[in-house]
Amino acid sequence: MRDLFEDIFSTGPLDPTEAARRAMRPQLRRRFYEHAGIEGEGGEFRIVLDGRPVKTPGRRTLAAPTAVLAQAIAAEWGAQRDSIDPANMPLTRLANTIIDGVADAASAVTAEVERYLGCDLVCYRAGGPAGLVTRQSKAWDPVIAWARETLGARFLLAEGIVFVRQPAEALAAASAAIPRDPWRLGALNAITTLTGSALIALALAGGALSVDEAWTAAHVDEDWNMDFWGRDELALERRAFRLAEMRAAATVLQSV
């Protein structure tokens, strides 16, 4: 069963021989279990398939710190039909990442979020056209205000793409709000990379933005371009995939 989970959720083969071997396999694995549920208590709730614990690609137990989150992960497994499709399991993929990666590399993950703070999306504004300027202000000014009023972080705004160095005090104040718990940290990092903004991620984690508001704020420029040039169906499909990942990360923030 361990090899099966590695096949389904592994991020990639380690060598050309393994790459060739995996390329010959069917893309999706057939569902091999009847029931997905949870077991455990006291801060570790394991996901089980027909009573057998699930393993991550890193061979660790797939478990969540709360029953609510574990149930949500198990529900993804229960929702699979004839085949197991990782593309439809964003919460499981995120849990694997947190368990196998974030838990042992919290400092590196925190540093990645901090790098986004140094050049955050919401600090770089368009000089025109007026409609885009207005949209950016409407979506991003509340985030800047929240950081100032709630975190005590006063970020500088710039026009265009010329880099502006943020005050050390602002970066330190915002960094202090980055969670240390690996589950919340992993979820925050996922939202940061999906939106391009650590400040949007922190505002969402702090309850200042809903998921939909955060998602809209992250796509102001993209939506403006689509309104002007037309909709790209392939881009919209990729965006829907990323939105599912965003909602999974928000579920983690709300459940731990």
Tell me, what's the pLDDT at 229? Answer: 81
Same fold, 2-87 and 104-255: no
If you average pLDDT over residues 24-31, what whole number do you get?
Answer: 71
Q: Chain centroid to CA 85: how far? A: 19
pLDDT in tens, 215-236: 999 999 999 998 888 778 888 8
Are 109 and 189 within 8 A, CB to CB?
yes
Please name the fold of domain 2-87: ATP12-like (3.30.2180)
Share of the chain above pLDDT 90, in %: 81
If you average pLDDT over residues 62-83, what whole number do you get?
Answer: 97
Helix-helix angle 182-195:211-218, to 10 degrees:
40
The domain segmentation of the chain, as residue ranges, is 2-87, 104-255
| CATH class, range 104-255 | mainly alpha
If you average pLDDT over residues 31-41, what whole number do you get?
Answer: 93
pLDDT in tens, 155-209: 999 998 899 999 999 999 999 999 999 999 999 999 999 999 999 999 999 999 9
Q: How many CB atoms lie within 10 A of CB 233?
A: 7
Residues 256 and 240: their CA atoms lie apart, in Å, by 25
Q: Tell whether the torsion through CA atoms of 55, 57, 58 and 59 is positive or negative.
A: positive
